[in-house]
Amino acid sequence: MVNRRRFLTLSSLAGLLPSLSFTFSKPASRPVADDTGDLLATGPMIISTWKQPKANAAAQAAFDKGGSALDAVEAGVDLP
């Protein structure tokens, strides 16, 4: 029988599993397309809530150079 302490420990660990599996997942190996078949993305994608084309272009350039997500964020906000 599982006591309360063990149940809480196991349930807290179970809550971490989705984030761990996401962290170690591989990028999509095939292009992503919408219902019409138009190509949407083949790798990392920049999503922003405001229309900032210069910031989005700088962030995408960081990804294109092989940078991490943090590099892309820094490039996107570090504009004059």
Q: What is the pLDDT of residues 27-79, one digit of tens each?
A: 555 555 666 666 666 677 788 888 888 998 999 899 889 888 899 999 999 98
pLDDT of 6:
80
What is the value of pTM for the model shown?
A: 0.48
pLDDT of 18:
59
Distance (Å) of CA 61 to CA 4, 10, 12, 29: 51, 42, 39, 20
pLDDT of 58:
92
pLDDT of 51:
84
Q: Which helix (H) or strand (E) holds 23?
A: helix 4-23
CA distance 12 to 41: 35
